[in-house]
Amino acid sequence: MDRLTGIGREATLAMACVAAVILFGLLSPAFGTGGNAATVLRNGYELWLIALGMTLLMAMGAIDVSVGAVMGVTAILTGQALLADLPLAAVVIVGPAAGAGLGLVAGAVVVWGRIPAIVATLGLFGVFRMVIFLLLGGQWLSGLPADLTRLVDWRGLGIPMGLLIVALVYAIAWLFLRRTTYGPHLLAIGFDEDRARLMGLAVTWVRMATFAASGALCGLAGVVYIGIYRNVSMTIGADIALEAVAAVILGGTPIFGGRISLLGTLLGVLLLRILQNGLMLIGVPSLWQTVVTGALLLGVLSAEVLARRLREGARG
């Protein structure tokens, strides 16, 4: 099995997506329409972007649980840039730039503070939440102009811009992983950080760059968020870190790093969104949707453990 692509999990996930589509299509006449397909995809934009950064982080054995708050801060800055009548080209830069900055802060705390990523980003999550509160001043940011909405929903060759953005960043990430030394170095750090350091890899640089990239992707998600929802409340992004981690693990990138699958993450997000949409359409109460997602995650993980035991048992 190729460590960089991880074929195997992807096939399972793709089949799960197809099975879900067929099942929901049979059970609900509203599911199999073009409009609903567009809705499912549109609901996935931010999660795809954030989960890509999370995939890179988890591949090198790190994690960032503050991604939702970073998206929140950058969404507010993007909204304020819109209200300040900045040119659209500047508006779309603000979010990713600020996100990369916040990502560097997280990276610095983890790398130079020598604090485990989950602890450091949990602390930053609280700090960024307070920043959101201060930026919003207890008010909601609403009444934003629709410029970004038109941009996100603009269609080129029938494909919405939001989806094109997602495809583009995944393609760029794939090229970096495949065509530069970044990919192997990332996995080497995830596999064994100390050994990577002894081998003379630029561990610090790779880690900082990955945190910055993840932050920039959160910022891009913030831009898309404003495009889709045109308002920001205090609770923005409260659930998205857990959803992203779930999608990444579903996609086959393990939580302790050393392996990566971009295609797996793409499919993991798609499966989560298909399930959420389809369960709703066939009339399952929304409270049960989280149960299904959780059960799916547990099922995949235990199947993996079971498969490994069987393999090892066969070998020994």
Partner 1 sequence: MTNVRLLSRLSVAALTAAFPIAAMAQDTPSVAFVPQLIGIPYFNAMENGGNAAAADLGVEFIFQGPVDANPLDQLQIVESLISRGVDAIAVSVLDASALAPLMDSAASQGAILFTSDSDAADSGRPVYVAQATDEGLGTKLIEELIARVGTDATIGIVSGEATASNLNAWIGYMQERVEDAYPEVTLLDPEFAGGTAERAAQLSTDLIAAHPDLDAIIAVASSTCPGVAQAIETSGKDIMGTGYCSPNTAREYLKSGAFGFTVLWDPYQLGYLTVWAGQQLIAGTPFAAENTVPTFPAPVTFDAETGILLLGEPAVFTAENVDEYDF
Q: Footprint of partner 1 on this chain (CB under 8 A)?
A: 28, 30-31, 33, 35-36, 39, 43, 46, 137-140, 142-143, 225, 228-233, 235-240, 276-277, 280-281, 283, 285-287
Nearer to partner 1, 201 or 245 (CB): 245
Nearer to partner 1, 62 or 70 (CB): 70
Nearer to partner 1, 211 or 225 (CB): 225
Q: How far is the CB of 74 from partner 1 (least distance, A)?
A: 14
Q: How far is the CB of 278 from partner 1 (least distance, A)?
A: 9
Who's near 183: CB < 8 A, 6+ residues apart?
4, 176, 177, 260
Nearer to partner 1, 35 or 156 (CB): 35
Q: Which of 229, 45, 40 is nearest to 149 (CA)?
A: 229
Nearer to partner 1, 281 or 301 (CB): 281
Q: How far is the CB of 241 from partner 1 (least distance, A)?
A: 12
Q: How far is the CB of 285 from partner 1 (least distance, A)?
A: 7
Q: Are 168 and 234 in contact (CB under 8 A)?
A: no
DSSP 111-175: HTS---HHHHHHHHHHHHHHHHHHHHTTS-B----SHHHHHHH-EETTEEHHHHHHHHHHHHHHH
Nearer to partner 1, 174 or 229 (CB): 229
Q: Are 206 and 188 in contact (CB under 8 A)?
A: no
Q: How far is the CB of 208 from partner 1 (least distance, A)?
A: 30
Q: How far is the CB of 137 from partner 1 (least distance, A)?
A: 7
Work out the burial of residue 191: count CB atoms within 10 Å of its CB; fewer than 13 is exposed, 13-18 middle, 19 or more buried: middle
Largest CA distance in the chain: 67
Q: HSE of 179 in the Cβ direction (CA atoms, 13 Å)? A: 6
Q: CA-to-CA distance for 268 and 170, rounded, in angstroms?
A: 14
